[in-house]
């Protein structure tokens, strides 16, 4: 029988509900339970695919091609269970589904309402797949009190009513702010947040209190009394050095034991936390240091590159190496840019959309190519590597992408006709932006003799994609003759998946997003190879 754990948040957003849910899942998984993690986002966008990274942070892509909240990345990295379209929902998708049913006459002329029609659809989403797992852990986005979150909170109240308290558990994550002038942590925001949750009909069973410092027992006692939960069910979530320390922090406070006991399940001391102990040791055992410049356009919000920064951390764990990420604004194009690039060991050009910052990224690529600085390009990064090479090596001065202008030698072009499985899809520049990209897993064949094949040690790979534009295959021969090799192609041989510069220490661009599938206990081979090259060059930066 499946049990349900609901994770809500209060006081402020960005408290780390995703890491909280993923950490609990990891602990239950370590005890041998089958887990499914789901995210319910209250915003009205159908998905985050057209939202600004400044608004929402990174867009994570599932293997089956869904643009999702970055919390699904935490779920995958902590549990190594691939997320799917059944694990993410937004109010936009729910309302779209509801209106579609109403237009089709499913409700037989009845008045369509939030309760029960919308909440029934939410409950159907939550309970999908319950016969395959022991626990479904559902994270509700936003904070208690947000008007758009009310249907989701009502839905989980209904599930608790239908299935009973013995089969559902509610975890509430709150903040204990420190008031510097009073020199004390304050519990009142947590009390008010729980009061708001209880007014909706939900009593939290476990309260996890975020804080930037140790929480006195007296305050935990106070929260327990005010919020009607046992003292042992108030958990101190003090800031950790990295997110990968959180599972062991919860374990030391018996969080998963409390959950198992709450559900009346058989309790044993059998738990396998070996990989988490290993990660904890290796994160803290820095024997080397390297500096990597991220030349990006959304640097003001580093959550915009969350999977990327995590993938570098994973590679660093592999080598017991501290990877210092140096964030460089892609709008910088003068001498200041070159001074910053000259002080790093390697350069990363990440993905993105739109023309802003393009020339700065191209200048960084040219600098890396000429000065033999290892460079790694992902998605747009690979495309700009191709454009820079076309302009400065092949002499095609107007080389560019039709994403930026139609008046160019289109080294990078829009995919007009392509196949999604057996289905042919056609798009134009006027097509809707949402859901019209090449999304999710696609197979690529690696070229014999290429560096990328040497790194993967495989004939073919499957990686996740998120893009609308492609390298123009008509330039393939002229690129190869000039020294820019094609490292990988799509299964049908039409699309270029990787390029690499010969006679360079490490200069590889890939059309896919390898950062999505990197794990702390299994770092992605491209990131491992890139960081390994930086270490081997003996140009490491020592603290």
HEC string for 28-76: HHHCCCCEEEEEEECCCCCCHHHCCHHHHCCCEECCCCCEECCHHHHHH
DSSP assignment string, 395-457: --TTEEETTT-SSSEEEEEE--EEEETTEEEE--TTS-STT-SEEEEEEEEEPTT-HHHHHHT
Q: Are 275 and 478 in contact (CB under 8 A)?
A: no
Our answer to whether residue 463 is catalytic in this structure is no
Q: What is the DSSP letter of 12?
A: S
Listed residues 259, 279, 299: the one ending a domain? 279
Active-site residue, from 280, 318, 379, 388: 379
Listed residues 247, 279, 311: the one ending a domain? 279
pLDDT of residue 543: 34
User: Does 542 reside within a domain?
Assistant: no
Q: Are 60 and 69 in contact (CB under 8 A)?
A: yes
Our answer to whether residue 232 is catalytic in this structure is no
Listed residues 230, 249, 279: the one ending a domain? 279
Residues 301 and 245 in one domain: no
pLDDT of residue 428: 52
Active-site residue, from 56, 318, 513, 524: 513
Structural domain total, the chain: 2
Residues 293 and 264 in one domain: no
Residues 527 and 428 in one domain: yes
Residues 128 and 244 in one domain: yes
User: Does 390 reside within a domain?
Assistant: yes
Active-site residue, from 67, 314, 515, 524: 515
Q: Are 175 and 143 in contact (CB under 8 A)?
A: no
Residues 245 and 308 in one domain: no
Residues 448 and 463 in one domain: yes
User: Does 541 reside within a domain?
Assistant: no
pLDDT of residue 436: 65
Give me the domain span that covers residue 67.
3-279
Supply the CATH number for residue 304's domain: 3.40.50.880
Supply the CATH number for residue 176's domain: 3.40.50.300
Question: To the nearest whole percent, how much of the chain has pLDDT over 70?
Answer: 95
Q: Which residues of 77-89 are buried (b: 16+ CB within 10 A; e: fewer)?
A: bbbebbbbeebbb
CA-based nearest residue to 24, from 235, 279, 203: 235
Residues 395 and 521 in one domain: yes
Our answer to whether residue 20 is catalytic in this structure is no
Q: Is the pTM of this model over 0.75?
A: yes
User: Does 543 reside within a domain?
Assistant: no
Helical pair 335-342 and 358-370, crossing angle rounded to 10 deg: 50
User: Does 530 reside within a domain?
Assistant: yes
pLDDT digits (tens, 9 = 90+) for 159-212: 999 999 999 999 999 999 999 998 999 999 999 999 999 999 999 999 999 999
Residues 326 and 189 in one domain: no
Residues 408 and 493 in one domain: yes
Residues 234 and 306 in one domain: no
pLDDT digits (tens, 9 = 90+) for 406-444: 888 888 887 654 444 555 455 455 554 445 678 999 999
Residues 329 and 202 in one domain: no
Residues 190 and 234 in one domain: yes
Q: Could you tell me where the DSSP H helices lie in 80-187?
A: 91-103, 119-127, 150-163
């Amino acid at each position: 029988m499946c049990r349900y754990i609901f994770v809500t948040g209060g006081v402020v957003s960005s408290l780390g509900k995703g890491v909280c849910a993923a950490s609990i899942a990891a602990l239950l998984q370590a005890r041998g339970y089958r887990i499914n993690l789901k995210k319910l986002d209250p915003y009205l966008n159908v998905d985050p695919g057209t939202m600004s990274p400044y608004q929402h942070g990174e867009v994570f892509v599932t293997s089956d091609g869904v643009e999702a909240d970055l919390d699904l990345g935490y779920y995958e990295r902590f549990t190594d269970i691939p997320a799917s379209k059944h694990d993410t929902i937004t109010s936009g998708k729910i309302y779209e589904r509801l209106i579609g049913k109403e237009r089709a006459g499913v409700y037989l002329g009845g008045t369509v309402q939030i309760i029960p029609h919308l909440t029934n659809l939410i409950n159907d989403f939550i309970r999908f797949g319950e016969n395959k797992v022991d626990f479904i852990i559902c994270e509700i986005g936003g904070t208690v009190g947000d008007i758009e979150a009310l249907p989701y909170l009502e839905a989980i109240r209904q599930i608790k009513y239908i299935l009973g308290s013995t089969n559902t558990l509610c975890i509430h994550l709150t903040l204990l702010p420190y008031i510097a002038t009073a020199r004390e942590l304050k519990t009142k925001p947590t009390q008010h947040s729980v009061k708001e949750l209880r007014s909706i009909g939900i009593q939290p069973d476990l309260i996890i209190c975020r804080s930037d410092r140790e929480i006195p027992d007296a305050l935990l006692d106070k929260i327990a009394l005010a919020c009607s939960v046992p003292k042992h069910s108030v958990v101190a979530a003090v800031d950790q050095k990295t997110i990968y320390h959180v599972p062991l922090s919860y374990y030391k406070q018996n969080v998963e034991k409390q959950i198992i006991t709450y559900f009346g399940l058989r309790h044993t001391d059998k738990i396998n936390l070996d990989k988490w102990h290993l990660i904890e040791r290796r994160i803290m055992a820095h024997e080397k240091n390297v500096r990597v410049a991220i030349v990006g356009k959304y640097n003001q919000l580093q959550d915009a590159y969350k999977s990327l920064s995590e993938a570098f951390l994973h590679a660093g764990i592999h080598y017991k190496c501290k990877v210092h990420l140096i964030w460089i604004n892609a709008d910088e194009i003068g001498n200041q840019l070159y001074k910053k690039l000259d002080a790093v060991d390697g350069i990363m050009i990440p993905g993105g959309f739109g023309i802003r910052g393009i020339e700065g990224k191209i200048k960084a690529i040219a600098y890396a190519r000429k000065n033999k600085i290892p460079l790694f390009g992902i998605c747009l990064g690979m495309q700009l590597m191709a454009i820079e090479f076309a302009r400065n090596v092949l002499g095609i001065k107007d080389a560019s992408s039709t994403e930026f202008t139609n008046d160019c030698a289109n080294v990078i072009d829009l995919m007009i006709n392509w196949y999604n499985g057996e289905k042919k899809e056609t798009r134009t520049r006027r097509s809707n932006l949402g859901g019209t990209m090449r999304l999710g897993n696609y197979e690529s064949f690696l070229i014999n003799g290429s560096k990328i094949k040497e790194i993967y040690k495989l004939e073919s790979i499957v990686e996740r994609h998120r893009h609308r534009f492609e390298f123009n295959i008509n330039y393939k021969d002229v690129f190869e003759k000039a020294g820019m090799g094609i490292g990988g192609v799509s299964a049908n041989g039409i699309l270029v998946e990787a390029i690499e510069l010969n006679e360079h220490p490490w200069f590889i661009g890939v059309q896919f997003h390898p950062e999505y599938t990197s794990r702390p206990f299994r770092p992605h081979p491209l990131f491992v190879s890139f960081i390994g090259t930086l270490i081997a060059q003996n140009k490491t930066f020592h603290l």
